[in-house]
A and B are shown apart, each in its own frame.
Chain A
Amino acid sequence: MFLAALQDSGETEQPSDAALMQRLIRREAGALEVLYDRYSRAVYSLALRIAQQSAAAEEIVQDVFLLLWRNAHRFEPSRGPLEPWLFTMARNRALDHIRLKREKQRRREETLDLQPVAFAAPNPEATLDRERRAERVRALMRSLPQQQRHAIELAFFEGLTHSEIAGAMKEPLGTVKSWIRNGLLRLRESLEGAS
């Protein structure tokens, strides 16, 4: 079942992420190329959105895929799909980049960012293909009030905390918390709904 969770329903002709990770363990560079072709654009887009510099974004993409290559044997399908792991690594590194650039203190989470984290995607039957998931995320966010959307984006793309967002937006802390909580709940419902 866990292996099935890695299947990308939109790319049935393509090898699954799990199969490619097995080939990565055997040091097959061809598998890395397939995974790169599959995810590099999304990973780069995210890194560029946060870091705002193409050179830094490319460095982050390279770091993420080399980390994947070096740690393929540590990847466990039971800890969730590959895609959120790639996104999370790219996001953490890109946020690191802008924090260092701003000479802000790194928070403790980044100190331990090599620790494995697990993700629980909906069951495979309910998982939309990537294109439809992306569209649902964009549509849901477009449907939110502008202030609520901005609060979530400040947290995700700028790495700000509740109080930092409240300060930046000059809104009450409780309001910001409520915006983020309710916005993420609606996003979850949208993504977990039947395709």
Chain B
Amino acid sequence: MSDCEHLREHYGAYALGALEGQERAEMEAHLARGCPACTAEVQRARWVVSQLAYLSPEAEPSASLRRRVVEAAQQVAPMPERRRWIPTWEWVAAAALVFLTVYSVYTERRSARELAALRDEIRAAQGQNAQLQQQRDIYQRAMAILSAPGTKETTLKPSGTASLPAIRAYWNPELGVVMSGQQIPAPAAGRTFQLWVVPKKGNPVSAGIFRPDEAGRVLIITKAEASAGDVAALAISDEPAQGSAQPTTTPMWVGPVG
């Protein structure tokens, strides 16, 4: 039985969000490979599921909500323009949006020169359709981490007294980390955030530096540091702009990986 035939019975449940475990992972992995037939069927299923909204008892919002929405709209700026997508390539578009909204940089390489070169490479990728393949690969990496059986979820909580939002992360010892947060304050000028993989024995290992975007959002997709061994926690510290070989400040966020 082909993958498509095998997955056919799951389109509705996947669109509904009821699919789970191995079945969900198989579906996501298959869609991430860009199967046009299954992508189209899932899109149809999503539309059907959306129509279940009409089962809701009809209710009327307060009259003041309309005014509040319009007033609020006039006070917020539009999101930055993006370049045009290839319309039929759904997964590439999804990957590109990930870039535009929340992109951050990660690398095991620590030298300032290498980091700067990588940033330039990513900026170029944002502006050029020729780089869409790279964006798709990153998105697929994220999907692979999120759907892999050994992936563990953790919440990095602020370790100090400062009022900071928690940050959610998914760790897979073989594939890496996907980390996402919102309303993250920007580090001070000349400073950066650095993500650390903290092994049970030995020193923390850098998983890259990053800054939140203008809206305070962060999405990290980084490779695993194989040398980290058994991992006890993920941590984020405030470091000089170039990053540090080892943490130089007390971690601002810590999340156990158990």
Contacts and interface: CB of A to CB of B under 8 A. Distances in A.
Interface string B143-160: 000110000010000000
B49 interface: yes
Interface string B39-56: 110011111111111111
B98 A121 contact: no
Interface residues of B, number: 64
Interface in B19-50: 19-21, 39-40, 43-50
A3 interface: no
A45 B57 contact: yes
B43 A119 contact: yes
A26 B169 CA distance: 37
A32 B85 contact: no
Contacts of B15: 184
Contacts of A88: 46, 50
B97 A114 contact: yes
Contact of A70 (B12, B78, B85): B78
B93 interface: yes
Contacts of A79: 87, 90
A156 B57 contact: no
B117 interface: no
B78 A137 contact: no
Interface residues of A, number: 78
Contacts of A29: 70, 73-74
Contacts of B49: 156, 184
Interface string A19-60: 000000001010011001100111011101100001001100
A106 B79 contact: no
B115 to A, nearest CB: 26
Contact of B17 (A36, A109, A111, A185): A109
A44 B43 contact: no
Given A88-B50, A112-B98, A133-B51, 4 more contacts: A45-B58, A107-B17, A111-B178, A137-B52
A84 B13 contact: no
B43 A62 contact: no
A33 B70 contact: yes
A32 B69 CA distance: 9
A66 B73 contact: yes
Report the 7 A-B pairs with minimum CB-CB distance, sorted nearest first: A184-B12, A84-B50, A120-B43, A134-B54, A49-B56, A45-B56, A44-B61
A83 B50 contact: yes
A101 interface: no
Nearest to B102: A114
B220 to A, nearest CB: 12
Contacts of B43: 80, 118-120
Given A36-B70, A42-B54, A111-B168, A70 B18 contact: no
A137 B56 contact: no
Contacts of A61: 61, 65, 69
Among B46, B56, B70, B73, find the residue whose CB has the most chain A CB atoms closer than 10 A: B56
A121 B53 CA distance: 15
A108 to B, nearest CB: 5
Given A65-B73, A162-B20, A188 B44 contact: yes
A118 to B, nearest CB: 5
Interface string B137-180: 00000100011000001000000000000001010000000101
